[in-house]
Structure 1
Amino acid sequence: MPSLQTVRSVKNAFSLFLTLCCLLAGKTIQAGSYGVNPVKLTLSSRNSTQVMTVRNNGTQAAVMQVELASWSQTRGRDDYAPTRDLLATPPIFNLPPGGMQIIRIGLRRAPDPQRERAYRMFLQEVPPPPKPDATGLQIALRISIPIFIAPSSPATPVLRWKATRIDEHTLKIEVANTGNLHDHLSAYKIYRKGSNAPFLSQKLFAYLLPGEKREWTLATGVMPNPGETLRVSATTDAGAAEAELAMDKP
């Protein structure tokens, strides 16, 4: 029989996998037997409430619980903490087969005048009590929804890129968001000056909150010279973004 720690590890890993799949799904989440729309919320002083629809596309009734958390980042790591800045109603509800529930999310704190704030809403399936003859693991589905609070002043993301040589076959690519609004990266390509063929490319799913940075260490068969000017083409929520970056010395 697996230990309690093993059971928790498997459950947490599976929950994380489902959360990632949900985030990659597009405008409407289809996770397991549930559909959620929209997949991202933005609140502001002018629009302090939003609604979200949760549908049960399965054949079994479910109990769902809503959790709200503030969201920050530390060099690419997501950190969450309980918050009272937002209110979600109802916080817990029954969802019959084929049923639908509307969740209302409201802002309880004035927006920051200068910088966007970020939060997460977690929709957690509450598993029923196990049957006496049940065997195996019970997996509770957990869906993560980003919520952004727009600042009072105009806001935009500003991405700054940097490339650093680690060794003769390895580059570190770093991007910092020096703006006051989040950005979302889904891919980037890096070109040498005058070339139309990228020598590095990567697909990803990366939110970059204001004031935060992310980095990736990549193997490459082409090593630019120190000080050489490179070009990066990134795919973001706002479309394609072009920028120059210079090779740093290690």
Structure 2
Amino acid sequence: MFPYACVLILGLGLWAASFAAHASNFEIAPVVLELGMNRSAGVIRIVNKDDHAITLQVRGYEWTQLGNDDQLNSTEALLISPPMFNIQPGAAQVIRVVSRQPQVSSSELAYRLLIDEIPDSDQTTVKFKFRISMPVFLQPEKKQAPKIDWRVESGNKQAIVVQNLGGQRTKLLNISLGLPDGRRVAPKAAANPYALAGAKRRYEFETDIALKAGLPVKIYAIADTGPVEVETTVMP
């Protein structure tokens, strides 16, 4: 059984004489799709759990990370069928995703599927569009584990810097910085928890303590492989 996400997008309580606010409620499985040399195709199943029909559009994008921003660029590397469809209440739709890559690089490639609701033309109903962003990973024939380099930088924008030098993404949660006096500082929330293969990410934080170069600190996080505790010193 695939893990699934149950998505509920609520209306804002806008009610008027001939207007109604609709919610969209559906299940999607799996929540992450992994393809590779030995598995060039995969399927996604979406179930409409609501009492009204929905129309969805699915598009594929190349996913990279630059600085601390996620970059999505149109790509033909993924074949999606069907790219647009209507699901009646209680019904399900299976989407087939096929990799068009003739060969896989030595590092994992990352994509995202954007699943968008397409509003109907019924002007008597107020509908709220929603978007689901789903990761798709294309793995090389020989997997390479993530290799994380951790740094803490001082300056005007103090930050924990994570650089993934390995060939596979990692997922990092609950990142915090341990100070010499025992306090912990949590950085600003990141857009998503992934550090892609070859990517560098900055987790900036604000504290009343000016971190000076050479100060001994600890970095804490929860990774795919378990708890992380790294002793390091603040860099200039």
- Offset from partner CA, 1:191-238 (integer Å, 9 cap, x none): 246x7x442234654221112111133222445552233221211233
Contact 1:175–1:214 (CA under 8 A) maintained in structure 2: yes
SS at match of 2:144: coil
**Aligned to 2:58, which of 57, 60, 66?**
66
Take 1:44 and 1:177, find their aligned partners in 2: how far apart are those partners? 20
Take 1:48 and 1:85, find their aligned partners in 2: how far apart are those partners? 11
Contact 1:189–1:198 (CA under 8 A) maintained in structure 2: no
Take 2:54 and 2:148, find their aligned partners in 1: how far apart are those partners? 42
Take 2:38 and 2:202, find their aligned partners in 1: how far apart are those partners? 35
Take 1:60 and 1:27, find their aligned partners in 2: how far apart are those partners? 21
**Aligned to 2:87, which of 68, 79, 95?**
95
Task: Provide the residue aligned with 1:10 in structure 2.
Answer: none
Task: Provide the residue aligned with 1:22 in structure 2.
Answer: none
Task: Provide the residue aligned with 1:11 in structure 2.
Answer: none
**Aligned to 2:228, which of 227, 241, 244?**
241
User: Structure 1 stretches of 5 or more lacking a match?
Assistant: 1-25
Match of 1:63, as an amino acid?
Answer: T
Query: Is 1:155 paired with 2:144?
Result: yes
Task: Provide the residue aligned with 1:49 in structure 2.
Answer: 41
CA-CA distance at 1:44 after TM superposition: 0.7
Match of 1:45, as an amino acid?
Answer: M
Match of 2:222, as an amino acid?
Answer: T
Contact 2:143–2:168 (CA under 8 A) maintained in structure 1: no
Deviates more, 1:141-150 or 1:228-237: 228-237
The structure with the largest helix share of the pair is 1
Task: Provide the residue aligned with 2:5 in structure 1.
Answer: 28
**Count of residues in Structure 1 that have an aligned counterpart in Structure 2:** 217
- Offset from partner CA, 1:60-99 (integer Å, 9 cap, x none): 1111111111111111211111111111211111100111
Task: Provide the residue aligned with 2:13 in structure 1.
Answer: none
Task: Provide the residue aligned with 1:3 in structure 2.
Answer: none
- With the length of structure 2 as denominator, give the TM-score of the two structures: 0.82
Q: After superposition, where does 1:65-84 map in structure 2 within 5 Å?
A: 65-84=57-76
CA-CA distance at 1:152 after TM superposition: 2.1
Take 1:162 and 1:190, find their aligned partners in 2: how far apart are those partners? 11
Q: After superposition, where does 1:114-153 map in structure 2 within 5 Å?
A: 114-131=106-123, 134=124, 138-153=127-142
